[in-house]
A and B are shown apart, each in its own frame.
Chain A
Amino acid sequence: GQQVMQIPQYQHVQEGEDFTTYCNSSTTLSNIQWYKQRPGGHPVFLIQLVKSGEVKKQKRLTFQFGEAKKNSSLHITATQTTDVGTYFCAGPGGSQGNLIFGKGTKLSVKP
Chain B
Amino acid sequence: SAVISQKPSRDICQRGTSLTIQCQVDSQVTMMFWYRQQPGQSLTLIATANQGSEATYESGFVIDKFPISRPNLTFSTLTVSNMSPEDSSIYLCSVEQGVNTEAFFGQGTRLTVV
Residues of B within 8 A of A101 (CB): 42-43
Given the interface pairs A96-B45, A97-B48, A98-B45, the reply to whether A42 lies near B106 with Cβ below 8 Å is: yes
Residues of B within 8 A of A92 (CB): 99-100
Given the interface pairs A43-B43, A88-B42, A106-B40, the reply to whether A99 lies near B107 with Cβ below 8 Å is: no
* Interchain CB contact under 8 A, B48 and A98: yes
Within 89-111 of A, Cβ neighbours of B (below 8 Å) are at: 90, 92, 94-99, 101-104, 106
Q: How many residues of chain B are within 8 Å of chain A by beta carbon?
A: 23
Q: How far is the CA of A48 from the CA of B99 in the complex (A)?
A: 13
For residue A24, CB closer than 8 A to chain B, the reply is no
Q: How far is the CA of A103 from the CA of B44 in the complex (A)?
A: 10
* Interchain CB contact under 8 A, B43 and A88: yes
Please give the distance in Å from B72's CB to the nearest CB on chain A.
Answer: 19
Using CB atoms, name the residue of chain B closest to A92.
B100
The CB with the most chain A CB atoms within 10 A, among B40, B56, B103, B108, is that of B103
**Inter-chain pairs besides A31-B100, A103-B41, A104-B41, 13 sampled, C-beta below 8 Å:** A33-B103, A35-B103, A41-B108, A42-B107, A43-B43, A43-B92, A44-B105, A45-B102, A92-B99, A96-B47, A98-B45, A98-B96, A99-B96
Q: Residues of A at under 8 Å CB distance from B?
A: 30-31, 33, 35, 41-45, 48, 88, 90, 92, 94-99, 101-104, 106
